[in-house]
Amino acid sequence: MILPFLDGIPKFLLAPVTWVLVLMNLIAYVYFHPNQAITRSSTERYLENKDLMSAQGRIYSDFVLSQSGKYSGYLVDVAALANLGRKEKIELMGYLALRDNFFIKKSRIEDYSGDVVEYAYWRKHIDEYSEVQELSPGSLFGMISSKSEIYRWISYQFIHGSFLHIFSNMWFLIIFGGFLEKRIGSLRFLGAYLLSGVVAAIAVNYMSGFTGRPLVGASGSIMGLVGIFASFSLTYPHRFLFWIFPKRGFWGFIFLPAWVSIGILFLLDIAGYLGTVAEFGAVAHSAHIGGVLIGYAIGTLFLKKYRLSTLPTENRAPQVQTI
């Protein structure tokens, strides 16, 4: 686990945009939390209906095989096994169907040649499920394949799915935002933050593709800040707090150069992107990758144009602490 150790938590007047962004994210989370709870409950009930999921799995398998040119070889292979009656593959296809907006949309208008009674049973429940999902914060403001409104490129950055999701993002926003804003200026900081979020969404679209699961969260924008800091750290060395998982009889911290720590983060996202089957992806590693790359480019531009002489040059690391 990597924890940033930069300037600590800044005062409001030193980083007003950072704190306003944090406040906006928290307000959005609190305001939409009741809707998120309803959506989550609806999803859980839907997934717990084994007969419904089996019906959905069989219908989705037929659909994927009829549209095999639009799907990955992995998904086509799973669909073929499901059609042979493999129970675990049928259940898997039932789960994956909810991530596929193309399937949900096309299945409403195209004739189904299989069991019409089973199809009618599934159609009734998927319509009820979709009505609830349409009112979810992710569907209203997130990036999703069936939606094309321009505002979503910004609004998705302020929607979070869980307390852990928003806590981790806001923690990094406070640390990196507090460090960068007072050095590059509030307006440039805000522009870089929002632009990083837009580029992160573009990266998801081209590297992974938007699915029925909305893209939400500020992590792409925040990884843009990490990228900016990475470019600074090569010229103005700083340190990171790197927490080593405890072993028996030992617990402590070790401090590494910033570029090493950021490199670890970036490589973890590369590995996550390459090692995750697209149909199962939950963490948007491609958004993190896009955010870091555009952030690094922005930081390099700032260094070239503004020569940020106010950045401190000391390179001091606290002593390793052991207990």
The domains of the chain are located at 2-33+145-306, 49-135
- 145 has pLDDT over 80: no
The answer for 276, left when phi > 0, alpha when psi is -120 to 50, beta otherwise, is beta
**pLDDT tens-digit readout, 99-117:** 887 787 777 656 677 788 8
DSSP 234: H
Spell out the SS3 assignment of 173-223: HHHHHHHHHHHHCHHHHHHHHHHHHHHHHHHHHHHCCCCCCCECCCHHHHH
Interatomic CA distance for residues 70 and 92, integer angstroms: 19
* Full-model pTM: 0.81
> Considering the domain 2-33+145-306, what is its CATH architecture?
Up-down Bundle (1.20)
Sheet holding 239-243, edge to edge: 2-4, 239-243, 253-257
Task: Give the pLDDT confidence score for residue 135 in this predicted structure.
Answer: 83
SS3 146: coil
Q: How far is CA 268 from the centre of its chain?
A: 14
Task: Give the pLDDT confidence score for residue 220 in this predicted structure.
Answer: 94
**pLDDT tens-digit readout, 149-181:** 999 999 999 999 889 899 999 999 998 998 899
Decide if 1 contacts 245 (C-beta within 8 A). yes
DSSP 244: P
| pLDDT averaged over every residue in the chain | 82
**pLDDT tens-digit readout, 187-226:** 999 999 999 999 999 998 888 766 667 889 999 999 999 9
Hey, what amino acid is at 261? Answer: S
Task: Give the pLDDT confidence score for residue 212 in this predicted structure.
Answer: 66
- 94 has pLDDT over 70: yes
Mean pLDDT confidence for 77-81: 92
